[in-house]
Amino acid sequence: MLSLRWVSARGFRSFKQRAQIQLDAAGLTYITGENRSAPALGANGVGKSTIFEAICWALFGKTSLGLRAGDVVEWEGDSAEVALRFDVDDEQHKLQRTWGPVSLMLNGSPVTQEQLEQVIGYTYETFLFAVYHAQFGEFFSDLTASRQLEVYTQVLGLDLWEELSDTAAAQALEIEKLAQRIEVTLATRRGRLMEKQQALVELEDHELRWWRRHAQELRELQKDRDLLLEGLAKLTAVASKADVQDLELVANETAGVERQAAITLGALQARLQELENLTELPDRCPTCKQKVNRKQVEQHIAAESTTLHEQLTAAAERAATARTKAEEARRNMQTARVAAQAHAVEQERAASFNRAIATVSRQLKTLAARECPHDVPAATQALHQLRAEVEDGGEELAAHQRAVADYRFWVTGFREIRLALIKTSLAQFEVATNSALSALGLSDWSIEYAVEGETKGGKLKRGFTVMVRSPYNEGVVPFAAWSGGEGQRLRLAITMGLSDLIQDFAGSACNVEIFDEPTAHLSADGVSDLLSLLDSRAQQRDTAVLLADHQVLDYGGFARIVEVIKTQHGSTLQ
């Protein structure tokens, strides 16, 4: 709550010297005046409104008519200063605004206008419609319908919901665009996914065929190897070169034995021939010429011949045996040579088999180690990754679509909240206005408010209407149809109703309410009703109601009367 305590002004309009007035005195305060510098003006032009304008200028840097800076300085002066003591809830503050030089200080420290308004909880427009009802200020009832709607929604903070709705719409549009981009990307990914799925099927088919061919090639090579091993195993085990050499040695040895036997046999045969020749020898020895004993010779020859025949027979047998063995050895050697040649051939064949087996074995090893050129695992992994991206994209798209739906909901939701608040506030506005209207002497009268609604197409139909129901009309008529005293009473009731609404509904309460020249066009009874109502408002709210008026008001309920005296030296307070 904003609680104004006192205001002081120096060099501000008609107040040349510093003047200070207490603002928080409870009850109805009547501010009148006397223009001693121009008596014909009575209470006009003395500076009554200047007190209120000083408050407005201190808080917002301009008066109710929008005057700023040098326009508010006393005509003969070159500087102006207004100080304002106020509380916000339980915090005390002192505000000082000056011109010449220009400064704005809160509690001794510089402050911006925006920061100040955050502290006091009022904007310039809200203050004028809730607290300060200026003499020449805008009355809500006199505004155009569009301006009424603008002011109404602004001072009650209802534009926030329209801004939130617009923000939600902008966010929905932005997210929708992003969702569309995601959807395009997702569609591309889905297309790629289908292509990769088809490619994977083809790749798996190629891989299967490759493995089948690979297995067939392995089987064929294994079969070739088995056949080679089988052929190698079937090679005949024949004599080797070493066997031939051994047989040649045997053959040579047997041939030697045969030759020796033949020699021995020849020698024996020659000896036998010699013996046979001895039988033909003469009686005398041809060498020594000695006489030979024929009988002895024959006996000797017979004996030796017998021995030689025996030896010859044995030698012949040995020779025959040696010959047989030699022939056998020669046959064996020939057979061995043939076998050796066959062995060489077989060895060459075996070597050829072994080389072929080695070649096939290397081919088997190479083939077994060969990797399939169709990388199905990599393609599968890429497919899984792309599928995960598609799933993530789908989730992201769904999340954005949900967000769009949520924002779309709040586009309408915030507007509905705004309309609901407007409906609720209008009902409260009507109650407050009609209560004031009754207190102002128009007990059989009532005011009805209507504001924007939503068309069937979902668009807002803007407008604010003030309709009056009176004893003189069967139905309601626009406010503009009323003038004079009745129009002023209607105007005051609407002003008070809006002030109550702002302070109660919008939470912008203030301990002071200011009415500047509100009695215009009112009859004596109308003035009396107004003063009674203002006094009642001050008592019920325990607030200070400041009333400035140029008329002499005869009312016994004033809590205090402040008189402003204007002389040639400026205005002072009595």
Could you read off the pLDDT of 169-179 as tens digits, one per residue? 999 999 999 99
d(CA 499, CA 506): 10
Higher confidence at residue 83 or residue 38?
A: 83
User: Residue 506: its pLDDT value, please?
Assistant: 66
Q: Which pLDDT band, with edges at 50, 70 and 90, does 463 fall under?
A: confident
pTM above 0.85, yes or no: no
**Number of neighbouring beta carbons within 10 Å of residue 88:** 13
Is residue 160 over pLDDT 90?
Answer: no
Percent of the chain with pLDDT over 70: 93
Q: Which pLDDT band, with edges at 50, 70 and 90, does 168 fall under?
A: very high
Question: What three-state secondary structure class fits 357?
Answer: helix
Answer yes or no: are the C-beta atoms of 362 and 162 closer than 8 Å.
no
Q: Which pLDDT band, with edges at 50, 70 and 90, does 307 fall under?
A: confident
Could you read off the pLDDT of 279-298 as tens digits, one per residue? 666 666 666 667 767 677 67
Answer yes or no: are the C-beta atoms of 503 and 513 closer than 8 Å.
no
Q: Which of 130, 2, 125 is nearest to 62 (CA)?
A: 125
Chain centroid, CA 417 distance in Å = 31
User: Residue 489: its pLDDT value, please?
Assistant: 92
Q: Which of 191, 200, 215 is nearest to 375 (CA)?
A: 200
| Phi and psi, residue 204, nearest 5° | -65, -35
User: Residue 370: its pLDDT value, please?
Assistant: 85
Is residue 453 over pLDDT 70?
Answer: no
d(CA 550, CA 35): 11
**Helix spans in 95-158 (H):** 113-120, 124-130, 145-155
Percent of the chain with pLDDT over 90: 44
> What are 181-190's contacts with CB under 8 Å, separation 24+?
182/393, 182/396, 182/397, 182/400, 183/397, 185/393, 186/390, 186/393, 186/394, 186/397, 189/386, 189/389, 189/390, 189/393, 190/390
Answer yes or no: are the C-beta atoms of 367 and 218 closer than 8 Å.
yes
